[in-house]
Amino acid sequence: MAAPLLQLQNIALTLGGTPLLSSADLSVEPGERICLVGRNGSGKSTLLRIAAGALEADSGSRFMQPDASVRYLPQEPDFAGFDDVLSYVEAGLGPTDDPHRARYLLERLGLTGAENPAQLSGGEARRAAIARVLAPDPDILLLDEPTNHLDLPAIEWLETELAKARGAIVVISHDRRLLTKLSRATVWLDRGTTKRLDRGFAQFEEWRDKVLEEEETAAHKLDRKIVAEEHWMRYGVTARRKRNMRRVGALAALRKAKRDARRSDGDVTLAVNEAQLSGKLVVEAEKIAKSWGETPIVHDLSLRVLRGDRLGLVGANGAGKTTLVNLLTGVIAPDAGRTTLGANVAMASLDQKRAALDPQTTLKDVLTGGGGEWVEINGARKHVVGYMQDFLFKPEQARTPVGKLSGGERARLMLARALALPSNFLVLDEPTNDLDLETLDLVEDMLADYPGTVLLVSHDRDFLDRVATSVLVAEGEGRWIEYAGGYTDMIAQRGAGVAARETAREPRAPKGVPKPPQGEKQKRKLGFNEKRALETLPAEMERLRGVMAKAQEILAEPDLYARDPARFEKASAAYAQAQSALAAAEDRWLELEMLREEIEG
């Protein structure tokens, strides 16, 4: 194994009287790709801050190689003291770093560098912070929710950029697709301690469930042993004459082990407060149009949303997704056309900006509307503290101001409030922001069982695949097209994702060649290189998989780095290069295959 660049051992930290970390470890070797997973509030961000040197633990050790460089991306970057975005990004560069890379990254992320940090949107702030940590090309990247507030084009660009990164990466994210593509090891932070799986996130959930099942079996055996010992204490012949002090001590130790066993905090319990069923037609839009100034947001859109539909809206930031939601729900009026809500529609919404939460309002008042101690769920009254506990809030947090909650806690609170309202039409604007993976699973299950209708805005590709029955995509110039299925289905039909797709300019015809008459289209044919690529790419993809398998076999050799560092580095580089080339080849083959089917069809 390689010598670690960064190592945390036996990290313990108590915040506000509550132990958050008790025995957490993290070891980062050169070139590693680690995802750090765990529930909201489990201490993932805190552990990452300790790794970055931004927070000191109560106990434990932190070691970093003296010559190693590290860059940390927090969830909420601090722009204080910077007049523009460029100076903020350049401040992250070291003396030997390339100053031109800062401008290059800003340009790729859609920023000029002249922006005022105080006036950035959430997405722009996240892009600037990403440029700052990527610009130096550090030995270690520590990334806390890098995809938050990013649109799909930016997420897919970031995936590509991170795949090419030279250094090691530790990432916290709720984006399953990103974790699956990027990670090669998983660190699970659970109940203050860490467990490591030397495989990527794709294998994590199966492994986690197995670990929890083994814990449950061990706890059951402990319970049975306690019962047996208690039976002996009460009825054993020896016990009638005198106590066997060794067994008495053993029973006390067993009971202490049971008391001290830190159980999982429990599951989020999600139940939607259902109103009576709406009519079959929930929303009807007829030739609606909306522009902001000279910019068309929606043009000539006709759409019918029926009861039970799960309609996902996707597009780049600024495409007008939130405006379209407001048009469809009657919040704003169209410039042309009309929108009609169906009969008996009872709507509940989740705001992506969490703007409706007053930071001074207590958690209890948010859920009860400012009065009383009860919430009503499906006709049954439930005490607010019990309802809070369904969403993993502790009873003592009832009077906690919203401003003191973490991002994940605010997300859960907004979800709890939205689900407490009687509804048959849920409008969810970026519901996955700041939610942990377990809560996401439960939200998906809840939406699957929800008898009403769902209008969903999300940049989470995996969430869209699991929830949406159709996807409405911004095509530019105010055009929106609906595709059946989730995000992956949309790509198969459309031939491309939501990554910025500029309108192709018509190629100029050579001199002397007349242009086709207006309105006629020249029949598209596969070129020689395209045909050749279709024939050769499958074999190339198979070859690359073989290269990856061979490199993985070499890397699996015990103590390889200690024995032969050069061979280790060569195998690591070969694996990363083949992985990147395979992804590009698969994308190219899919693009050409879809084009061939379109031409032949």
3-state secondary structure 198-221: CCCHHHHHHHHHHHHHHHHHHHHH
53 assigned to some structural domain = yes
Q: Which residue has the higher pLDDT, 394 or 242?
A: 394
* 558-565: average pLDDT: 76
* 25-50: average pLDDT: 92
pLDDT for the residue 274: 55
pLDDT for the residue 367: 85
pLDDT for the residue 27: 96
272 assigned to some structural domain = no
pLDDT for the residue 354: 54
Q: How many domains does the chain have?
A: 4
212 assigned to some structural domain = no
Amino acid at 59: S
Same structural domain, 485 and 343 = yes
CA 76 to chain CA mean position, Å: 16
154 has a pLDDT exceeding 80: yes
500 assigned to some structural domain = no
* 537-548: average pLDDT: 86
* 95-105: average pLDDT: 90
Same structural domain, 168 and 231 = no
Same structural domain, 54 and 87 = yes
Give the 3-state secondary structure of residue 491. Answer: helix
136 assigned to some structural domain = yes
Q: What is the DSSP string of 398-441?
A: TT-BGGGS-HHHHHHHHHHHHHHS-BSEEEEESTTTT--HHHHH
520 has a pLDDT exceeding 70: no
Same structural domain, 77 and 183 = yes
- List the CATH number of the domain containing 469: 3.40.50.300
pLDDT for the residue 252: 60
- Whether the pTM exceeds 0.85: the reply is no
Same structural domain, 426 and 332 = yes
Q: Which of 16-25, 112-121, 354-363 has the highest mean pLDDT?
A: 112-121
pLDDT band at 243, cuts 50/70/90? very low
Structure tokens at 360: 């001074």
Q: For residue 273, what are the CA distances in angstroms to 239, 381, 422, 430, 444?
A: 56, 11, 5, 20, 16
Same structural domain, 238 and 190 = no
Domain containing residue 563: 528-600
* Pairing mode, strands 18-28 and 33-37: unpaired
pLDDT digits (tens, 9 = 90+) for 172-190: 998 999 999 999 999 999 9
Same structural domain, 465 and 381 = yes
Same structural domain, 121 and 239 = no
487 has a pLDDT exceeding 50: yes
Residue 138 CB partners (closer than 8 Å, separation 6+): 69, 70, 71, 167
59 assigned to some structural domain = yes
pLDDT for the residue 96: 86
pLDDT digits (tens, 9 = 90+) for 280-317: 889 999 999 999 888 899 999 999 999 889 999 998 88
Same structural domain, 437 and 552 = no
pLDDT band at 515, cuts 50/70/90? very low
3-state secondary structure 169-187: EEEECCCHHHHHHHCCEEE
518 assigned to some structural domain = no
pLDDT band at 451, cuts 50/70/90? confident
594 assigned to some structural domain = yes
> Which of 217-221, 270-274, 413-417 shows the lowest mean pLDDT across its residues?
270-274
Same structural domain, 245 and 202 = no
pLDDT for the residue 267: 57
Same structural domain, 291 and 158 = no
pLDDT for the residue 568: 78
pLDDT for the residue 521: 39
